[in-house]
Structure 1
Amino acid sequence: MIDRRTFLRRSGLIAAALTSGPAWISRAAERQPVRITEGPQGHWFGYYDKWQVDPSGRYALGCKVTFEGRSPEDTDRLEIGLIDLQEGHRWKTIGESLAWGWQQSCMLQWIPGSTEEVIWNDREAGGYVSRIYHIHSGQTRTLPQPVYALSPDGAFAVGTAFNRIQNLRPGYGYAGIPDPYQAQKAPDEIGLYTMDLRTGTTNHLLSLADLAHLPHAGEDVSDNWHWFNHMLVSPDSRRLLFLHRWRPEILENQQMARTGFVTRMITVDTTGKDLYVADPSGNSSHFVWKDSEHIFVWTRPVGKEAGFWLIKDKTAEMERIGAASMDRNGHNTYVPHTNEEWVLNDTYPDKERLITLYLYHVPSKRKVILGKFYSPERFFGEWRCDLHPRCDQQGRRVFFDSTHEGSRQMYSLDISDIVGT
């Protein structure tokens, strides 16, 4: 590992660049990713906004699959594994799932604050459920509903109807159980719920019908096909953040279902009250909470340019972040233990099918490219492999999924010398 001074010297940086303000870009010197899984089977984790690594930094979670290049069917099982990062990346199978997709796998993640319990979604007896596995006892308990995101205090989950998502945005929901309301544009029976992670008690908060009757830009949007997607809980575990999406018709070409919909970003409290349209532009995409009041999101606000914006919840306040360096949509998070000064991000493939992985330092407007990774053409559409970069809980390493060596595998990179953790 190089020290900070050596890193700055090798990157060709001078003190004036640290204070003068203009954005600059460097490539992290001699930094090679470490592959933590091996083929021939494909391995990946899933989404960028969940804990893959336990609080100690020793164990990483992952998924294993035996095929590529098609949508999951109802009989396709996903193997769930625990990777020992201190023992040669040894893989231990801890379970399986029949409820998964290529982009977010089965919502596999560590329960926040726990060193012993992980959770993922599964299917049984004609319904979707979630499993909580204890890594030391090997025991598994089942909760009655699937999860989308967990509260940072580890007390509850937030969820929605995954078969509805699969019906309207294939690849983000699950096969195996048809949407019982597929003939209804905005059913009142499904929507947003919370579930107690200890008891499984579930509370229905908002229905699709509730949001469908909320005008958008002064216009009635109820005569569309509606669904909820992409949920997160605020750092203080008091507010929920989600995307409300709709499209005028269901597309026969499912590969085209990635486009043609409108999105608005909504916040609401954990009882379903105090609802606020945090981004009414219709363009919200990837986001993360910065703190319990601010949301860091890729969008194109009304009358403004597309980019990453810091929006204050329940106000009209917003600020563009990284205009010169983060001008492409990606999967953005904050590096832990850096006072939200460092952003971890990626891009989609460019015209040469290269995906850029990088860090961005907000105060100094510095961008550090960690690598560029080739994405073979056969990984496209629903079964593409975005990097979905995520940090460990110490903020010392980046973990990501990639196909640059020809198969879907997981990798890690040490960034501690860059961000100072």
Structure 2
Amino acid sequence: MSEKEVDVSNVRMVSDGSSHSFFGYYDKCPWDESNSYLLFHSVAGTGIPSGDSLATIGYCDPQGGKSFVPLTTTDSWNWQQGSMLQWLENRSAKKILFNRSIPEGYGTVLLDIDKNQERFYGKPLAAASPKGDFMVSYNYSRLAVTHSAIGYFTHPVDYDLECFPDDDGLFYVDLETGKEMLIFSYRDASNFSPEDSMSRATHWFSHAGINPSGTRILFLHRWSECVTDENQWFHRLLTISPDGTDVKVLQTSEHPLLEEQVEGVWTYEYEKNVNQISHPVWLDDIHILAWSTRNNRSRYHRYTDRSSDVEEIGGHVLRENGHFTCSPNNKWLLTDTYPDPDSNKRSLLLFDMETGAVASLGSFYADPALTKDTRCDLHPRWDRNGKIVCIDSVHEGMVRQVYTLDVSDSLV
């Protein structure tokens, strides 16, 4: 496949257009295991979600019609990641996981669609094992302060955070028994291979993911003395075993932008190319793909867990940060870009991991009036067969919708 722009006439809206519809993040598959039903949220409002902002959770059959089947609601969501909505994997029954508020904060709901039964867990979902046996959790109230775009605001927010508490952090939750275990606290993080910048900083975790066999967990450890300025964040990519042992640092950000470099930085410039680590995903049991900066060069990098092996991926053509996942056969990298400052269009790209060729699957306009916390990133995701792509987009107006693209003809 050569570098080209392919036909996008098959971009198809699968939501009904009557309200804001979106799935959420890029690292979860919205299709069930039969590849028949597609999950997403439906929302009436447009502002930053608060306690009275309900999202309806449901699904449609994207091949059989656009009819949205509502299932339940949640009050715990944001425009970037939604409610962490996802199918419970490795199950014959149709079961989904998502977050919802509880009196003590936020928890996880496991909904059996066929039985219309809900089970509750006392910790909110960050990532679920592909085997469906456990999940990991961290504090979304803390994220409301440190990374507001992916935090929850259902409960009043306490902005006076302890820098690195020892009773909060990354939790393991057994989905069968409900047992919870703190496996890596914020204090543990501040003491593990400490950097000089950590001692007075506020620490938080985000972007967790679990490898296919359920034996390793990745997550981002971030810290800053000024959490409201992303240019002053520090980053580490960590991995850990589910029992809290064998913690590894795969990458530490080289430095944040110096203060004199910050003036005039465009809204999305930080996400595009400076010294951060973002959007890590497992490629298989030992390899992780992430956007990061090494030797002053920001590119996609493939890391090997428990080793120092790092390889730049697509550096000649993939020069901007985005939200990326690999096809089920790991041959194709699907990613998007942040909007171009002149056209306000986001690109959808398909990269051949074997040949290094890239193709544009289209450009999608996004109104610049959307803020960092209310923006609509494409967040592309593969279907189970690696033939169809799902995106969230506002290219047809201010109302975000769910779209699919058949890319099978491009996979040659």
Out of 176, 186, 197, the residue aligned to residue 164 of structure 2 is: 186
- Cα displacement string for residues 193-230 of structure 1 (whole angstroms, at most 9, x for unaligned residues): 111112211111011011112345x5251210111111
Distance in 1 of aligned mates of 2:348 and 2:293: 22
1:177 maps to which residue?
155
| TM-score (normalised: structure 2) | 0.90
1:124 Cα deviation after fit: 2.5
Distance in 2 of aligned mates of 1:365 and 1:418: 14
Are 1:346 and 2:336 matched, yes or no?
yes
Contact kept in structure 2, 1:106 and 1:120, CA below 8 Å:
yes
Q: Secondary structure of 1:263's partner?
A: strand
Q: Give the letter aligned to residue 234 of structure 2.
A: V
2:244 maps to which residue?
272
Out of 36, 45, 57, the residue aligned to residue 67 of structure 1 is: 45
1:120 Cα deviation after fit: 0.5
Contact kept in structure 2, 1:126 and 1:177, CA below 8 Å:
no
Cα 1:314–1:30, aligned 2, differ >3 Å: closer, same or farther? closer
Distance in 2 of aligned mates of 1:378 and 1:409: 17
1:404 maps to which residue?
395
- Cα displacement string for residues 56-80 of structure 1 (whole angstroms, at most 9, x for unaligned residues): 1110001011111x21111211111
Q: Secondary structure of 2:4's partner?
A: strand
1:181 Cα deviation after fit: 8.3
Q: Give the letter aligned to residue 411 of structure 2.
A: V
Cα 1:213–1:91, aligned 2, differ >3 Å: closer, same or farther? same
Q: Give the letter aligned to residue 145 of structure 1.
A: K
1:371 Cα deviation after fit: 0.8
1:37 maps to which residue?
15
1:419 Cα deviation after fit: 2.5
Are 1:152 and 2:130 matched, yes or no?
yes
Distance in 1 of aligned mates of 2:193 and 2:242: 23
1:262 maps to which residue?
234
1:372 maps to which residue?
363
Distance in 1 of aligned mates of 2:292 and 2:84: 24
Distance in 2 of aligned mates of 1:285 and 1:35: 29
2:264 maps to which residue?
none
Out of 15, 24, 28, the residue aligned to residue 46 of structure 1 is: 24
Distance in 2 of aligned mates of 1:156 and 1:225: 28
- Cα displacement string for residues 19-65 of structure 1 (whole angstroms, at most 9, x for unaligned residues): xxxxx411123543100112331000100001210111110001011
Q: Secondary structure of 2:373's partner?
A: helix
1:292 Cα deviation after fit: 1.2
2:297 maps to which residue?
305
- Cα displacement string for residues 378-402 of structure 1 (whole angstroms, at most 9, x for unaligned residues): 2221000000000111111100000
Out of 311, 317, 327, the residue aligned to residue 319 of structure 2 is: 327
Q: Give the letter aligned to residue 235 of structure 1.
A: P
1:127 Cα deviation after fit: 2.6
| TM-score (normalised: structure 1) | 0.88
1:277 Cα deviation after fit: 0.5
C-alpha root-mean-square deviation of aligned residues, in Å?
1.7
Q: Give the letter aligned to residue 381 of structure 2.
A: R
- Cα displacement string for residues 283-342 of structure 1 (whole angstroms, at most 9, x for unaligned residues): 2111211111111111002x2511001111121111111111211100110011x2x111
Q: Secondary structure of 1:299's partner?
A: strand
Distance in 2 of aligned mates of 1:73 and 1:400: 25
1:81 maps to which residue?
58
Structure 1 consecutive aligned stretches of length 4 or more whose deviation exceeds 3 Å? 178-183
1:180 Cα deviation after fit: 6.0
Greater gyration radius = 1
Instruction: List gaps (5 residues or longer) in structure 1.
Output: 1-17, 19-23, 252-256
Are 1:132 and 2:110 matched, yes or no?
yes
Overall identity of the aligned pairs, in %: 32
